[in-house]
């Protein structure tokens, strides 16, 4: 067995969303609720079957997964001592002022403007319903049952729509996902010279080794009668690991101004729709079809899903200038596909030279951290009616409802994974040697002291000078957000116990 192989994961204990996106269950909704009565809530939790990560044949037609915020755990009576073992970010919350500043949630994105998740409207529990369309309504009704309204007060219900694999701007989405090393064959810590799509289990599931070869911090309990069912901690078998087989869930409701984007692209392209689509592709980093802007790599990248090889087997090694896929494009920002060193196969001496700072001298070289420590597992779903780009050029009908993405991602370390991506790569106006621009889709366009303009988008040229597109309007507005903990089934029973 591999050097760090340990006990196998008990899929029956893990909530299904970690392993499956439930793609065939095209109807889904997210209910954000506050605990009205802890006793009733616990009764409901005890009585409600939660979908596990066990593969079922045939696949189920319905699924239910549940996650809790820090105020939610408190409302259920979890002690402060136990809560103190959860991460700073989870306890502080997404809406906390300093955190919001780091995440770029400023201006219209500021938590004070959120529909849900701001101070006073923090959800306690996130209940996620998934089902095949015919079953959906009855599933929700029967799952809620009689106790629901005694147990919970609904803060927000986020519906979803099925856009057939596209996100609301009109681009194919969900192509790139990390492959979780469920069998724990990955040797960590390790030196990773080339990009790999396989990521250590502990990056997505608490209680297991992460890419640093360590286990992320979580509350460890002294064994007693209340927690007898919980599994022991891998690094301290004398203690019970409350979070083992659980993970943190980040949720953000991202409203997308589809008309705003396409009208901007169309205007910049001088009324040429084809050129508008090309500019859009440069901003996203993929064509609308999902094809990347750089050619597919012949050599396979470990962990690439065979079904997505054509669109996901690539790195940016052959695009060092950004001429094919701009440095600031959305998918290049959120996944630079790099290894640990700026060169793929350095000799031992060259490696030493690189480590000491005598590696490549180019201005744009070696500016980004290695991505394997910052991967997230995306599980979100779109909402709102479909609006094809061609139709987006017209004005909205009165009372048109909003559309966007209910962004959901799973990670074991919110700070190093989601927050790092959002702060250092998406919101940063200084990413990869750029200046005056943040993510073209998600950027808040807010001025920063000393830098009044942050609304540019740079398209590097083939030989020399770039094209700089100025004046990008804000295309995405944050309408709500929160951090949750999605427990294992054992931990769920622990929280729900009388």
Binding site for other proteins (CB under 8 A): 84, 88, 91-92, 96-99, 101-102, 189, 212-214, 216-217, 321, 340, 354-359, 361-364, 366-367, 369-370, 373-374, 415-416, 419-420, 423-424, 428-430, 433, 435, 448-451, 460-461, 463-468, 470
> Measured from the CB atom, is 167 or 419 closer to other proteins?
419
> Measured from the CB atom, is 3 or 23 closer to other proteins?
3
Rounded least distance, CB 433 to other proteins, Å: 5
Closest CA to 216 of 237, 172, 193, 246: 246
Kindly give, in sequence order, each residue whose CB lies less than 8 Å from that of residue 438, ignoring residues fewer than 6 positions away. Answer: 104, 426, 427, 428, 429, 431, 444, 445, 454
> Measured from the CB atom, is 331 or 459 closer to other proteins?
459
Rounded least distance, CB 234 to other proteins, Å: 14
Rounded least distance, CB 265 to other proteins, Å: 18
Kindly give, in sequence order, each residue whose CB lies less than 8 Å from that of residue 172, ignoring residues fewer than 6 positions away. Answer: 165, 166, 286, 288, 289, 290, 311
Helix (H, G, I), strand (E, B) or coil at 349: helix
Rounded least distance, CB 179 to other proteins, Å: 21
Rounded least distance, CB 370 to other proteins, Å: 5
CA distance 125 to 2: 38
Rounded least distance, CB 360 to other proteins, Å: 10
> Measured from the CB atom, is 145 or 189 closer to other proteins?
189
CA distance 435 to 458: 9
Q: Are 289 and 183 in contact (CB under 8 A)?
A: no
Strand bridging mode 179-181 / 198-200: parallel
Q: Are 68 and 484 in contact (CB under 8 A)?
A: yes
> Measured from the CB atom, is 109 or 304 closer to other proteins?
109
Helix (H, G, I), strand (E, B) or coil at 236: strand
> Measured from the CB atom, is 21 or 85 closer to other proteins?
85
CA distance 438 to 416: 19
Rounded least distance, CB 364 to other proteins, Å: 8
Place of tokens 């962990």: 303
> Measured from the CB atom, is 24 or 467 closer to other proteins?
467
> Measured from the CB atom, is 396 or 451 closer to other proteins?
451
Q: Are 119 and 95 in contact (CB under 8 A)?
A: yes
Rounded least distance, CB 293 to other proteins, Å: 18
Rounded least distance, CB 8 to other proteins, Å: 24
> Measured from the CB atom, is 214 or 344 closer to other proteins?
214
> Measured from the CB atom, is 296 or 355 closer to other proteins?
355
Rounded least distance, CB 202 to other proteins, Å: 11
Rounded least distance, CB 215 to other proteins, Å: 8
> Measured from the CB atom, is 186 or 416 closer to other proteins?
416
């Amino acid at each position: 067995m591999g050097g760090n192989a340990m006990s196998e994961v008990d899929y029956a204990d893990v909530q299904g969303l970690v392993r499956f996106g439930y793609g065939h269950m095209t109807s889904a909704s997210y209910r954000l609720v506050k605990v009205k009565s802890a006793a009733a809530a616990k009764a409901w939790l005890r009585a409600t079957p939660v979908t596990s990560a066990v593969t079922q044949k045939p696949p189920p037609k319905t699924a239910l997964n549940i996650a809790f915020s820090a105020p939610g755990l408190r409302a259920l009576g979890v002690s402060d001592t136990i809560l103190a073992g959860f991460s700073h970010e989870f306890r502080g919350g997404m809406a906390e002022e300093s955190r919001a500043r780091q995440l770029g949630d400023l201006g219209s994105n500021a938590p004070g403007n959120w529909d849900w998740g701001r101070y006073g409207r923090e959800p306690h529990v996130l209940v996620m319903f998934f089902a095949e369309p015919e079953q959906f309504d009855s599933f929700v009704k029967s799952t809620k049952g009689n106790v629901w309204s005694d147990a919970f007060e609904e803060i927000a219900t986020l519906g979803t729509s099925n856009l057939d694999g596209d996100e609301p701007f009109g681009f194919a989405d969900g192509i790139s996902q990390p492959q979780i090393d469920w069998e724990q064959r990955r040797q960590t810590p390790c030196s990773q010279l080339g990009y790999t799509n396989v990521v250590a289990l502990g990056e997505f599931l608490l209680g297991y080794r992460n890419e640093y070869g360590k286990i992320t911090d979580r509350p460890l309990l002294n064994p007693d009668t209340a927690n007898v069912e919980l599994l022991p901690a891998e690094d301290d078998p004398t203690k019970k690991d409350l979070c083992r087989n659980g993970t943190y869930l980040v949720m953000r409701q991202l409203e997308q101004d589809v008309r705003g984007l396409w009208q901007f692209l169309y205007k910049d392209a001088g009324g040429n729709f084809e050129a508008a689509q090309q500019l859009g592709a440069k901003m996203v980093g993929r064509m609308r079809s999902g094809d990347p802007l750089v050619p597919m790599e012949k050599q396979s990248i470990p962990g690439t899903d065979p079904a997505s090889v054509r669109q996901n087997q690539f790195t940016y090694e052959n695009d060092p200038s950004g001429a094919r896929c701009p440095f600031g494009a959305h998918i290049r920002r959120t996944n630079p596909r790099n290894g640990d060193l700026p060169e793929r196969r350095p000799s031992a001496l060259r490696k030493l030279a690189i480590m000491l700072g005598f590696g490549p001298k180019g201005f744009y070289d070696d500016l980004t951290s290695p991505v394997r420590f910052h991967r997230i597992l995306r599980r979100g779903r779109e909402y709102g009616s479909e609006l094809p780009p061609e139709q987006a050029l017209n004005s909205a009908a009165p009372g048109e409802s909003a559309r966007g993405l209910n962004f959901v991602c799973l990670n074991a370390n919110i700070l190093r994974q989601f927050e790092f991506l959002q702060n250092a790569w998406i919101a940063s106006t200084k990413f990869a040697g750029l200046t005056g621009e943040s993510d073209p889709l998600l950027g808040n366009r807010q001025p920063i002291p000393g830098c009044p303009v942050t609304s540019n988008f740079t398209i590097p040229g083939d030989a020399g000078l770039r094209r700089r597109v100025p004046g990008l309007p804000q295309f995405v507005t944050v309408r709500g957000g929160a951090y949750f903990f999605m427990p294992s089934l054992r931990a769920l029973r622990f929280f729900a116990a009388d």
